[in-house]
């Protein structure tokens, strides 16, 4: 099995539509032991949804913008796992104001940056005491090379996120930790539905993708995350793997 015996920390399971839910499911099916994170009011929802996985995993509290949560994460995880072979960052948040490029305030932008970009570094550093050489950090982006309709300051946050991945790869490489991202096409999740005008992506993606695209199928993106968490990309770091039906490679 691809992830036999691996111990993985998986953030971002909110509903069973969450990309992270599909990563957790595949990971368990492929032999991994999984610990989930959630925070605040969503702890209860995540714990309920966790019961839909093949094995119900523990849920540890982590608001990735909360310094105390981050500082105590490794100790609290220690109650469930003695080390980590991989960490999935599947977190994104921006206030509604951030989805209006010309009107978005810096407060909106800084909140988006904190939760959606800086958090990759925060999570990796918080988990680092438990990570062993050969382990992996994997995150999810939405291709930040382009200016998209409606994505606005979240697109800028994703550009920062992608850059953060490269700097993390630089600094964690000498410790034997790989850092990679999956650039997924649009998937109908809670986060996506909270973006005003998300429909704009949904309508055109399937037409533009040489392989076609199903906005209700998170499995292709989840499979790529599982592969990057496995031992099958031993010399790959600072990379972005596109799982978008091929849209990134097309002119029109």
The residue among 115 and 177 lying less far from ligand NAD, judged by its C-beta, is 115
Decide if 158 is catalytic: yes
The residue among 24 and 91 lying less far from ligand NAD, judged by its C-beta, is 91
To the nearest whole angstrom, how small is the minimum distance from the Cβ of residue 133 to ligand NAD?
Answer: 26
Q: Is 63 assigned a ligand-binding role in the annotation?
A: yes
Residue 181, token pair as written in the block = 């991202």
To the nearest whole angstrom, how small is the minimum distance from the Cβ of residue 69 to ligand NAD?
Answer: 8
Candidate list 145, 158, 193, 223, residue with the active-site label: 158
Specify whether the CB–CB gap between 164 and 118 falls below 8 A: yes
Q: Is 191 assigned a ligand-binding role in the annotation?
A: yes
Q: Where do contacts with ligand NAD occur on this chain (CB under 6 A)?
A: 11-15, 18-20, 39, 42, 62-65, 90-93, 115, 140-142, 184, 186-187, 189-192
Decide if 151 is catalytic: yes
Report the distance separating Cα 221 and Cα 164, nearest Å.
20
Which letter does DSSP use for residue 16 in this model?
Answer: T
The residue among 22 and 174 lying less far from ligand NAD, judged by its C-beta, is 22
Report the distance separating Cα 108 and Cα 63, nearest Å.
18
Report the distance separating Cα 24 and Cα 88, nearest Å.
9
Beta strands in the chain (DSSP E): 7-10, 33-38, 59-61, 84-89, 131-141, 178-184, 239-243
To the nearest whole angstrom, how small is the minimum distance from the Cβ of residue 154 to ligand NAD?
Answer: 7
Report the distance separating Cα 139 and Cα 55, nearest Å.
23
The residue among 157 and 175 lying less far from ligand NAD, judged by its C-beta, is 157
To the nearest whole angstrom, how small is the minimum distance from the Cβ of residue 120 to ligand NAD?
Answer: 9
Report the distance separating Cα 247 and Cα 209, nearest Å.
5
Q: Binding site residues for substrate, as ranges?
A: 94
Give the residue numbers marked as catalytic.
151, 158
């Amino acid at each position: 099995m691809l992830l036999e015996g691996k111990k993985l920390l998986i953030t971002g399971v909110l509903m069973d539509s969450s990309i992270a839910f599909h990563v957790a499911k595949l990971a368990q099916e492929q032999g991994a032991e999984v610990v989930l994170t959630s925070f605040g009011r969503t702890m209860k929802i995540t714990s309920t949804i966790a019961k839909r996985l093949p094995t119900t995993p523990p849920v540890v509290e982590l608001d990735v913008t909360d310094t105390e949560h981050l500082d105590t994460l490794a100790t609290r995880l220690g109650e469930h796992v003695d080390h980590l072979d991989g960490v999935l960052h599947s977190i994104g948040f921006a206030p509604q104001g951030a989805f209006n490029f010309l009107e978005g305030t810096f407060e909106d932008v800084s909140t988006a940056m904190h939760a959606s970009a800086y958090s990759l570094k925060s999570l990796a550093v918080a988990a680092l005491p438990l990570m062993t050489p050969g382990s992996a950090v994997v995150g999810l982006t939405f291709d930040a090379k382009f200016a998209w309709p409606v994505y606005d300051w979240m697109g800028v946050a994703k550009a920062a996120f992608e850059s953060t991945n490269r700097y993390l790869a630089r600094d964690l490489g000498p410790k034997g930790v790989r850092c990679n991202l999956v650039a997924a096409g649009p998937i109908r999740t809670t986060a996506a539905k909270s973006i005003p005008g998300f429909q704009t992506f949904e309508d055109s993606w399937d037409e533009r993708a040489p392989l076609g695209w199903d906005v209700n199928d998170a499995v292709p993106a989840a499979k790529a995350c599982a592969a990057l968490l496995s031992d099958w990309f031993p010399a790959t770091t600072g990379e972005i793997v596109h799982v978008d039906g091929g849209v990134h490679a097309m002119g029109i």
